[in-house]
């Protein structure tokens, strides 16, 4: 008869502790000395023990599953989510953290009011331990619905209408300042910007930070046209800027996709990049290196931010963090050929 897999007793013998101690460590009970926890975890690796997930759930009252929710995309979900490298980077960062902590992601799309209600019902029934939310709409009601239902939740990006929820974000204004100072250092003086929708807090911060940095350097007139984060909107905005301000010599776009669109129009109009017009983007996505020329851009460490979002949620689920928390990452300028 073949032997079953390693048991708690096997781990206990390997670690030199009691079976009850091993059980407390496996089930995440916190009143175990950290050194003993590490000893037990090492013994688990050595023996190859795999906890019975169903039995563990009965003890911990947790599923060890986490919902990653893309909310507010509507009928444009496929075109927006799969065309924008941002979302893939969020998924990568979240999944990387969860895998390394034996937690399981469940990807959910909440594209309508009815879908949001279903998500809240699903989580309220204990189908997952908490939610990571990436909202596309500024006034998305889902975060507040989850908080009201007492479901642990963490958001990617600062919410525009509530302050009682944990979130991870970037110092957007500081990143835009770096872009402005770089364009000025190159000698650009007739500088324009392609902003993102100003209903989004991050977009407002980027535009305000950019304008403030230029104003402090004596550049008060900053032509601006709004895009919507896509290549086509960046191209349309760049065409409009050139029509109204043909002498522009520097452009800051609020994301890399719009910067790519701007570069396309500049080439079509016979403008050399960066000799005639320097271009700076934002995000440092895969677009930045595939664009021609490669983009100078403000790096947003999306994967690390998404991992931090998952870590925050894990702490809320385990009860080691009880208050809403914000984690703000620093921005960094990455210089390439476009500026």
The DSSP result for 22-39, as a single string, is HHHHHTT-S-S-HHHHHH
Is the pLDDT assigned to residue 2 strictly greater than 50? no
**CA-based Rg of the chain, rounded to a whole angstrom?**
24
| Residues in a beta bridge with 251 | 192, 279
Where would I find the H helices in 29-84?
34-47, 53-60, 77-83
Sign of the C-alpha dihedral, residues 161, 163, 165, 166?
positive
* C-beta of residue 91 within 8 angstroms of C-beta of residue 99: no
Q: Stretch 270-274: mean pLDDT, rounded?
A: 97
Look up residue 310 and give its two tokens. Answer: 């998952």
* C-beta of residue 252 within 8 angstroms of C-beta of residue 210: yes
Cβ neighbourhood burial of 111 (10 Å; 0-12, 13-18, 19+):
middle
Is the pLDDT assigned to residue 56 strictly greater than 60? no
| Residues in a beta bridge with 306 | none
The pLDDT tens digits of the residues spanning 281-315 come to: 999 999 999 999 999 999 999 999 999 999 999 99
C-alpha 94: how far from its chain's center? 9
CA distances from residue 162 to 109, 201, 334 in whole angstroms, order as listed: 22, 12, 33
In whole angstroms, give the CA distance from residue 69 to residue 184.
40
Residue 76 DSSP class: G
Which of 192, 268, 206, 189 is closest to 237 using CA atoms? 192
In whole angstroms, give the CA distance from residue 14 to residue 288.
51
The pLDDT tens digits of the residues spanning 214-241 come to: 999 999 899 999 999 999 999 999 999 9
- State the pLDDT confidence band at 164, using cuts at 50, 70 and 90: confident
Residue 300 three-state SS: coil
Q: What is the pLDDT of residue 178?
A: 98
* C-beta of residue 167 within 8 angstroms of C-beta of residue 135: no
Q: Which residues lie closer than 8 Å to 137 by C-beta, 6 or more apart? A: 71, 72
Percent of the chain with pLDDT over 70: 90
In whole angstroms, give the CA distance from residue 296 to residue 335.
4
Strand order in the sheet with 191-195: 224-226, 191-195, 250-253, 278-283, 296-299, 332-334
Q: What is the pLDDT of residue 160?
A: 73
Is the pLDDT assigned to residue 40 strictly greater than 80? yes
In whole angstroms, give the CA distance from residue 179 to residue 226.
17
Q: Which residues lie closer than 8 Å to 329 by C-beta, 6 or more apart? A: 168, 169, 170, 171, 300, 301, 304, 305, 308
pTM of the model: 0.78
The pLDDT tens digits of the residues spanning 204-215 come to: 999 999 999 999
* C-beta of residue 36 within 8 angstroms of C-beta of residue 17: yes
* C-beta of residue 286 within 8 angstroms of C-beta of residue 309: no
CA distances from residue 96 to 42, 156, 162, 310 in whole angstroms, order as listed: 21, 16, 28, 9
């Amino acid at each position: 008869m073949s032997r079953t897999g390693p048991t708690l007793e096997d781990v206990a013998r390997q670690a030199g502790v009691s079976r009850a101690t091993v059980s407390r460590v496996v089930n995440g009970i916190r009143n175990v000395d950290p050194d003993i926890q590490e000893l037990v975890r090492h013994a688990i690796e050595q023996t190859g023990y795999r906890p019975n997930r169903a039995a563990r759930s009965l003890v911990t009252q947790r599923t060890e599953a986490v919902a990653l929710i893309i909310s507010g995309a509507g009928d444009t979900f496929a075109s927006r989510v799969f065309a924008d490298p941002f979302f893939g980077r969020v998924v990568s960062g979240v999944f990387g953290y969860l895998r390394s902590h034996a937690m399981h992601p469940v990807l959910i799309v909440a594209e309508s009011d009815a879908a949001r209600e279903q998500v809240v019902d699903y989580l309220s029934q204990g189908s997952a331990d908490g939610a990571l939310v990436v909202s596309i709409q500024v006034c998305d009601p889902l975060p507040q619905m989850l908080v009201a239902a007492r479901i642990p939740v963490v958001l990617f990006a600062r919410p525009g209408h509530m302050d009682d929820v944990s979130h991870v974000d970037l110092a957007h204004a500081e990143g835009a300042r770096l872009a402005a100072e770089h364009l000025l250092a190159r000698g650009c003086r007739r500088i324009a910007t392609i902003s993102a929708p100003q209903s989004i807090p991050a977009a407002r911060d980027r535009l305000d930070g950019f304008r403030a940095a230029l104003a402090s350097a004596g550049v008060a007139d900053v032509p601006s046209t709004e895009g919507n984060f896509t290549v086509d909107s960046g191209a349309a905005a760049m065409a409009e800027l050139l029509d109204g301000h043909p002498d522009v010599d520097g452009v800051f776009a609020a994301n890399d996709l719009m910067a790519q669109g701007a570069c396309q129009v500049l080439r079509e109009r016979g403008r050399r990049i960066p000799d005639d017009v320097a271009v700076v983007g934002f995000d440092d996505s895969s677009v930045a290196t595939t664009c021609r020329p490669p983009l100078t851009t403000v790096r947003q460490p999306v994967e690390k931010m998404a991992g931090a979002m998952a870590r925050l949620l894990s702490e809320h689920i385990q009860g080691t963090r009880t208050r809403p928390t914000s984690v703000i990452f620093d921005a960094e300028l990455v210089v390439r050929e476009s500026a």
